Amino acid sequence: MRVGFIGLGSQGGPMARRIIDAGYHTTLWARRPASLEPFADTAAKVAGSPAELGAASDLVCICVVDDADVEEVLGGDTGVLAGMTDGGIIAIHSTVHPDTCRALAKTTAFQSISLIDAPVSGGAPAAAERRLTMMVGGDPDALERCRPVFETHANAIVHLGGVGAGQITKLLNNLLFTANLATAKTALALGEALAVSAQSLTDVMSRGSGNSFALNSIGQFGGSLDMLASIAAELLQKDVRLVADIAEKAHATPGAVLDAADAALELMDHPR
């Protein structure tokens, strides 16, 4: 399978590297030449446009930041769809609105191209160590065709339903993580108010029933959210907004998890 990859940032870069190292014929494209520099020592080819990448690929993996970026690299005269041929597959690894994926899947179907949404969780280290979790929505046969490529960087590849199901799952995961940041941060702050240090609390609670990924993420920075906020606040704000919109349109009540996530965003000075 010939693979194209667009979105070579902190998450996509290590994923692309694993695909290349596994020996797949890989083509890359990036807006910024600097994003391509880490791949200069590999066998990967560089396309002049997303359309050129699409023409050279059976599977195109998209790992850009948001909905607008996904739509931009796929559409238009120079987009992936302008070059990709019948029978191809597009995998959206970006975390975006499920409706975006559903609308794009209808568009790609007219060209006999399958689109699956396949966001991931775990971060760059997990990709490098082949232990990403991938949440997939879409045609199960398309997933099976892609599975060997995905297994170069993911060890848990879960099919969750139709197009959009992967995005909903990833967004709920991020919503819960954001909510856990608020509960962990306020628990540590309460402990300090009661004369128990944040580090001591983290050491104990990380071994008990109060443990969470969020707790350890805050604990490694001495109980402060500042570093996490500088890295992830904007992305978490985007994802919480998406979940809130999806829930509202579905007339579903998010309840305490959204309240807690909102509290975390407030603590990071990025209110929803």
Do residues 36 and 150 both lie within one domain? yes
What's the pLDDT at 12? Answer: 97
Question: Do the bridges between strand 89-92 and strand 154-161 make them parallel or antiparallel, or are there none, so unpaired?
Answer: unpaired
What Å distances lie between residue 263 and 31, 70, 170, 175, 205, CA to CA? 36, 29, 20, 12, 21
What's the pLDDT at 244? Answer: 97
Decide if 88 is inside a domain: yes
What's the pLDDT at 236? Answer: 96
Do residues 15 and 139 both lie within one domain? yes
Q: For residue 225, give its domain range.
A: 168-267
The CA radius of gyration of the chain, in Å to the nearest whole number, is 20
Last residue of a domain, one of 122, 140, 162: 162
Do residues 145 and 202 both lie within one domain? no
In the predicted model, what is the mean pLDDT of residues 4-28? 97
List the catalytic residue out of 45, 106, 170, 249: 170
Last residue of a domain, one of 162, 180, 212: 162
Decide if 31 is inside a domain: yes
Do residues 175 and 112 both lie within one domain? no
Residue range 83-105, pLDDT digits in tens: 999 999 999 999 999 999 999 99
Last residue of a domain, one of 99, 127, 162: 162
Among all chains, which residue has been given the structure tokens 């996904």? 70
pLDDT band per the 50, 70, 90 thresholds, residue 58: very high
pLDDT band per the 50, 70, 90 thresholds, residue 14: very high
Do residues 138 and 203 both lie within one domain? no
Residue 249: partners with Cβ closer than 8 Å, 6 or more residues away:
none
Decide if 272 is inside a domain: no
Q: Is 45 a catalytic residue?
A: no
Domain tally, the chain: 2
Question: Do the bridges between strand 26-29 and strand 45-46 make them parallel or antiparallel, or are there none, so unpaired?
Answer: parallel
pTM of the model: 0.94
Do residues 129 and 87 both lie within one domain? yes
Among all chains, which residue has been given the structure tokens 């990833």? 170
Decide if 201 is inside a domain: yes
CATH classification at residue 185: 1.10.1040.10
Among all chains, which residue has been given the structure tokens 């209110």? 271
Gap between the Cα atoms of 227 and 229, Å rounded: 5
Do residues 142 and 90 both lie within one domain? yes
What's the pLDDT at 188? Answer: 96
Residue range 179-234, pLDDT digits in tens: 999 999 999 999 999 999 999 999 999 999 999 999 999 999 999 999 999 999 99
Do residues 129 and 176 both lie within one domain? no
What's the pLDDT at 210? Answer: 95
Decide if 177 is inside a domain: yes
The closest alpha carbon to 180, from 255, 101, 263, 114, belongs to 263
Helices (H) and strands (E) in the chain, counts: 13, 9
Do residues 156 and 209 both lie within one domain? no
Do residues 102 and 191 both lie within one domain? no
